[in-house]
Amino acid sequence: MKRKVHEKEVRKKIIKTARQLFLEQGFHQTTIRQITQKSGISTGTLYHFYQDKEDIFFHIADETFLKVIEKSEEMVPDHRIFLRLVCEVAVHIQAFISGKNMAELYTIAYGSYSISEEVMRKQHIRIANILESRGLKDQADVEFISLTLKGFLHALALKSMHGEELDPQVIIPQAARLLLTLFKIDDNQQKEILMSLEALPIYINVM
C-alpha cells in the first residue's frame, strides 16, 4: 500500500514539474533532464513511469481536457447541455489565448495523433449521446461535428501561438454560434444560450 502511495506521489511530482516548465519556457525548450532535476528524481525513476516527454505531455493534456469538462459541469446544470458545451469551448479558448506557451501546448495536443485520438474518442461519445437525445443517430453527423470543432480550435491555437491577438469577446461568441449551428440550434435558442454564457465566470486556470 505504501509503495502505491509513493508511486502516485512521484507521478504527481513529475506531472506538476513538467507542467510548470512547459508553461514557463515551452514544450520544445523543456528537457527530461530539467524535469528530473527540478522534481528531484532520477532519470531512471522518470522512465519507470513515463516513456518520454511526449508521454508526460499526453497525461497533462488528458488531465487538462478532463478538468475543463469538470469545471463546466460545476458551473452549468445538467439539463443545460448546450450551454455546458459552449462553456467548455470558451474555457479552452481563454486558456490558449492567455499566453504563447499555453497556445503551443494546445497546438501540440491538437496536432498529436495519440492525444487528439483520445480527445476525439471521448468527444464522439458525448456528441453521439446529445444527438441521440434529439432523435438524431447519424454517425456521419458525429464525425462532422467533432472534426469541425477540433479544426476550428486548432486553427485558433495556431494563430495565438504565432502571436496573433485574438479578442475573446469576438472569438468566443463566434465559436459558440458555430457549435450551436452544427447541432441545429435555432437562432432564438442561440441568443438565449449566448446571454447565459456571458454571465458565467469563464476564465479558469486549466493547467
Phi-psi region of 40 (alpha: psi -120 to 50; beta: other; left: phi over 0): left
pLDDT digits over 139-181, tens only?
778 888 888 988 999 999 999 999 898 898 899 999 999 999 9
Q: Are residues 161 and 71 in the same domain?
A: yes
Q: Domain containing 8 — which CATH number?
A: 1.10.10.60
89 and 173 belong to one structural domain: yes
- Pair (164, 87) in one structural domain: yes
Residues 115 and 156 in one domain: yes
60/46 same-domain check: no
- This prediction has a pTM of 0.84
Q: What's the total number of domains in the chain? A: 2
For 68-94, the pLDDT digits (tens) are: 888 888 888 888 989 988 998 999 998
In terms of Cα–Cα distance, which of 32, 34, 26, 92 is closest to 56? 32
Q: Which residues of 146-179 are buried (b: 16+ CB within 10 A; e: fewer)?
A: beebeebbbebbbbbbeeeebeeeebbbebbbeb
Neighbours of 186 (CB within 10 A): 9
Classify residue 205: in a domain, yes or no: no
In a domain, 6, yes or no: yes
Give the C-alpha distances (Å, rounded to integers) separating 25 from 11, 19, 30.
21, 10, 7
Range(s) of the domain holding residue 15: 1-50
Q: Which pLDDT band, with edges at 50, 70 and 90, does 4 fall under?
A: low
Residues 133, 60 share a domain: yes
